Amino acid sequence: SQNIYILGIESSCDDTAASVIQNGTILSNVVATQKIHEAYGGVVPELASRAHQQNIVPVVHQALKKAHITKEQLSAIAFTKGPGLMGSLLVGTSFAKSLAFGLNIPLIDVNHMQAHILAHFIDEVGFNKPPFPFLAMTISGGHTQIVNVKHYFDMSVIGETIDDAVGEAFDKSGKVLGLGYPAGPEIDKRAALGNPKAFKFTKPKVDGLNFSFSGLKTAILYFIQKETKANPNFIEENLNDICASIQYTIIGILIDKLKLATKETGITHIAIGGGVSANSGIRQALKEGEKKFGWTTYVPKFEFTTDNAAMIAIVGYLKYLEGDFAEQNVAASSRLKI
Ligand code: KG4
Ligand code: ZN
């Protein structure tokens, strides 16, 4: 049968990304990460939009080149419609619409949160696909959700954060400790060298499957303020232990909710996605869950967990097979729901 080539475009936050997929297989996966935000300790929307504007054509060009195809060979263009930062989304959306119009091929709109989950359906050697139904936990700097996935496009959010995302809990705690942005990876590295039970932070009390992380951030701030008043060198003398304790607390919150979700749904296949999936502590906790609770867990390759366009391309491919195309007047939607 004929090959289907989809170009995926992702620009919802601070990464400009493009990817070409041939049927289910990724041929290229290019990401231009915007370094400019590090200096500000968080993503600055206005700067993100401008950087996307500069990066989008070179990134798409590279994705086509690495895939060894020309744009005339493309079957369709898939792009992130939302959720995300409006200015950032507009760049990818407008570019995708123009390119599809110019090439006279279908345009496919993709929900970024669905894409984090459906990244699990990219064909990769040694990459097990979860069977339906499964639970997906998307954990990143922008989102924290537990989703009951009945089929590719039949999924429902059964729990989500009522304030900060879990990645923000890592990043904001790191800021209190004087670590650079984003702090998640460094907390992870230091946690491996520290004692997770050195300091105790209380877990937030949130009903059901929802999460809350803003209280934890405040608790850590007050704790550090109190301790450094007594000992100005408290942070540097205890940094690894503090990181290990913070990470232990956060992972405990995530695992508690997963336990409840498996109990409520009876589903024990669990897939994760989003940048925080890179955390070695959560990976280990999921492995332990396999032994302790009979879970089967699915952790994608790192390049498919953080924001990327391969996940947009795979959703584009799945929608292409169903003939599910966007209208020409489709618009970006910053609060798009699953
Ligand atoms: O998916 P992502 O690249 O971008 C979005 O937020 O959509 O996720 C970035 C988040 C940041 O908060 C970062 O600190 C966190 O993922 N992160 C980690 C680790 N690697 C990235 N958090 C904990 N441990 C890590 N190893
Ligand atoms: Zn994301």
Burial class for 116, CB neighbours closer than 10 Å (0-12, 13-18, 19+): buried
Report the pLDDT value the prediction gives residue 124, as an integer from 0 to 100.
85
ipTM of the complex, rounded to two decimals: 0.98
Report the pLDDT value the prediction gives residue 105, as an integer from 0 to 100.
98
With 80 as the cut, is the pLDDT of residue 106 above it?
Answer: yes
At residue 241 the predicted structure's pLDDT band, cuts being 50, 70 and 90, is: very high
pTM value is 0.95
Residue 187 counted as an annotated binding residue: no
Ligand 1 pocket member 196 (CB < 6 A): no
Report the pLDDT value the prediction gives residue 103, as an integer from 0 to 100.
98
Ligand 1 pocket member 275 (CB < 6 A): yes
Report the pLDDT value the prediction gives residue 40, as an integer from 0 to 100.
83
Q: Residue with the nearest Cα to atom 23 of ligand 1? A: 184
At residue 87 the predicted structure's pLDDT band, cuts being 50, 70 and 90, is: very high
User: Which regions of the chain does DSSP assign to beta strands (E)?
Assistant: 5-10, 15-22, 25-33, 76-82, 107-111, 134-139, 144-151, 154-160, 269-273, 296-298
- Ligand 1 centroid to Cα of residue 184, in Å, is 6
Ligand 1 pocket member 67 (CB < 6 A): no
Residue 116 counted as an annotated binding residue: yes
pLDDT in tens, 121-162: 999 877 789 999 999 999 999 899 999 999 999 999 999 999
3-state secondary structure 46-85: HHHHHHHHHHHHHHHHHHHHHHCCCHHHCCEEEEEEECCC
Q: Which domains does the chain have, with CATH numbers?
A: 5-120+305-322 (3.30.420.40), 131-299 (3.30.420.40)
Q: Which atom of ligand 1 is nearest to the CA of 274?
A: 1
Residues 6+ apart with CB under 8 A from 5: 20, 21, 22, 27, 67, 69, 73, 74, 75
Average pLDDT, the chain: 96
Ligand 1 pocket member 184 (CB < 6 A): yes
Ligand 2 ion: nearby residues, β-carbon < 5 Å: 140, 307
pLDDT in tens, 37-81: 888 888 889 999 999 999 999 999 999 999 999 999 999 999 999
- Ligand 2 centroid to Cα of residue 272, in Å, is 12
d(CA 253, CA 170): 13
